[in-house]
Amino acid sequence: MADIINLLPDNIANQIAAGEVIQRPASAVKELLENAVDAGATEIQLIIRDAGKELVQVIDNGSGMSDTDARMCFERHATSKIKSIDDLFQIRTMGFRGEALASIAAVSQVELKSRRAEDELGTFIEIDNSVIRRQEPCQAPVGTSIAMKNLFFNVPARRNFLKSNAAEMRHIVDEFIRVALAFPHLQFSLNSNGQQMFHFEKGSLKQRIVSILGQHYNSKLVTVKESTDYMNIHGFVGKPETAKKTRGDQFFFVNNRFIKSSYLNHAVMNAFAETIPPDSFPLYVLFIDLDPAHVDINVHPTKQEIKFDDERILYAFVQSAIKHALAQFSVTPALDFDLDPGIQQLDALTQPFTEEKKAQSAGTSIYKTFTSANQAHIIDKSNNSNLQHWKELYGPPPARDNDFPPPPSPSDFPPVSTASVIDERWQEAAHDQKGPVQVHQQYILSQIKSGFILVDQRSAHERILYERYLRALAEKPIATQQSLFPQTLELLPADAIIVHEMLPDLQALGYDLEPFGQHTFVVRGTPADIQTGNEQASIEGLLEQFKNFSHELKHNRRERLVRSMARNNAIPSGKPLSTREMQNIIDELFACSMPNISPGGRGTFISFKLNDLEKMFDRGF
């Protein structure tokens, strides 16, 4: 029988490996930008066409490569940074495994130009599906230009899984922002479809944060800086008033590498626990520096998930550093020790305190009260007290002839049994209670002919809003409540891309938004059922919900938007409701096409039948 195990050809092996490293255009952006940083560049330019599907190009003024290195860099596991296993635990550069360029070359068409300062000519290489088609000398500036064209041209199934241009561009902007934040001393620019989206000059970390997030943050950042023998932390957190309903303004870097860590994020949230609402997210850009031997960054192909040898130390250190920063730089009212010149002219200072005035003061009840030993709390009960009029103000009014008679005393009635009193009161309460009842401000209890139902007010309202918003997109737009004072909403660049994409649907759902600058919108109106003055929180909450739904590929953009709005605007658990509000929820719920479940699949109500209740209480047996 013939042998059946064969070695995969290099191009197929590279395509399989590329599935781990290059998942979308943003993956290539990250790898190419980090390579440019590792090359010692001071100016890095990113050029994008068609959200990276047609072109991702990075141009840098770094050290460049020789013709041999330019060819070798596309081989799998070819790297200049690791020569022994010990080097793997002392990594401080961004790219080190030699997978990125090989993976990029396996799923796209690549053109590279590179020249070192000591060389007169540079090297041009053209690669197609991992095969080098051409290599020749060329004229080129010092540094490297690498262009990735037609991503996944040879893997059409992978290309079909890419999302809309706006969604892919949002991921590209996210990766660009992260690298730009990590290296504020370098110049970065991003050009998309011939238009410049960003240009960041070299500067301090604070300048870079403000240029990305907006000038209004300039006076709202708190410095975080703590050092120990084990680790250091530096960066900025936003003052409590900058907390938002969306978690986009949160960045953690370990040894200048952006990471995602729910554990460390929890430490930050705990540090802010007593200063911001529980459903808000603080701004932070924090850098942790520690010995690479304490960190394992080789646990995931994207290197965004890393492991620490002792996470508890980091948790305590991050939490205490932020608490210390907030305490040290908190805005508190300052005592003014400069004496107002007008005070010097008061009679109490300019006129002498004579013996006659002293005697008059000593005779008052207030003087006696506060000069008696341990009796500062005494209130004079005499009729001559200056506080007597307070009794008249808060005491019962004097009786008048036309007043109602006093209520009868218990002795005016014959004695009755306790059981009959309870029964009588319950009958009165049952007679008065004609509408639904709220239970623990979460559920609505309502009587029906066959028994009663218990409604989850949040899930029910979410179903109502979901169907209302679907009708608005399909038939009649929702009425807009115009704001008396339009608000300016400045968003993260990636969030601004989402809003631009959703603008027509948002307008049909009652939002009146108008672009105002690159990442800014003017909010002129919101859906009529949203409370006035809550416009910014409403949009931020909507964005957060939309991003939470973004991983659900089974839903299109409109479906995700409608679900996000329904969840964001639904009545929260714990909110007291009037009888009319509860009845409206019940009526509207049972007018829905699917009243029994929320859009997310949770139940909206439970019914209890009289027959079941009788069995529970052993009635009829």
- The CATH architecture one would assign to domain 451-607 is 2-Layer Sandwich (3.30)
- Residue bearing tokens 């020789």: 66
Who wins on pLDDT, 294 or 397?
Answer: 294
The pLDDT > 70 percentage for the chain reads 72
pLDDT, average across residues 339-351: 49
Which pair of tokens denotes residue 221?
């950042």
Query: Which amino acid makes up residue 483?
Result: S
Cα separation, 268 vs 240, in Å, equals 12
pLDDT band at 225 (very low <50, low <70, confident <90, very high): very high
In this predicted structure, the answer to whether residue 163 has a pLDDT above a threshold of 60 is yes
Least confident interval from 71-85, 366-380, 449-463: 366-380
Rounded mean pLDDT, 110-134: 92
Q: Identify the three-state secondary structure at position 79.
A: coil
**Which two tokens mark 513?**
């938004």
Angstrom distance (rounded) from CA 310 to CA 294: 8
Q: What is the pLDDT of residue 427?
A: 42
Q: How confident is the model at residue 341 (pLDDT cuts 50, 70, 90)?
A: very low
The stretch 16-36 carries a mean pLDDT of 81
Contact criterion met (CB below 8 Å) for 529 and 518 = no
**What are the pLDDT digits (tens) for 312-337?**
888 899 999 999 998 887 543 334 44
Per-residue tokens: 469: 């918003």
Distance CA 560, CA 556 (A): 6
| CB 443, CB 586: distance < 8 Å | no
Q: Are 144 and 36 in contact (CB under 8 A)?
A: yes
Fold match between domain 10-200 and domain 451-607 = no
Average pLDDT over residues 116-120: 94
pLDDT mean over 229-254? 88
* 484 has a pLDDT exceeding 60: yes
Predicted confidence (pLDDT) per residue in 196-208, tens digit:
989 999 999 999 9
Overall fold of domain 10-200: Heat Shock Protein 90 (3.30.565)
Whole-structure pTM value: 0.65
Average pLDDT over every residue of 354-362: 65
Q: What residues does each domain of the chain span?
A: 10-200, 205-328, 451-607
3.30.230.10, 3.40.50.280, 3.40.50.300, 3.40.50.2300: which CATH number matches 205-328? 3.30.230.10
- Return the higher-pLDDT residue of 279 and 286: 286
The pLDDT tens digits of the residues spanning 61-105 come to 999 999 888 888 888 666 655 555 555 555 556 554 457 788 888
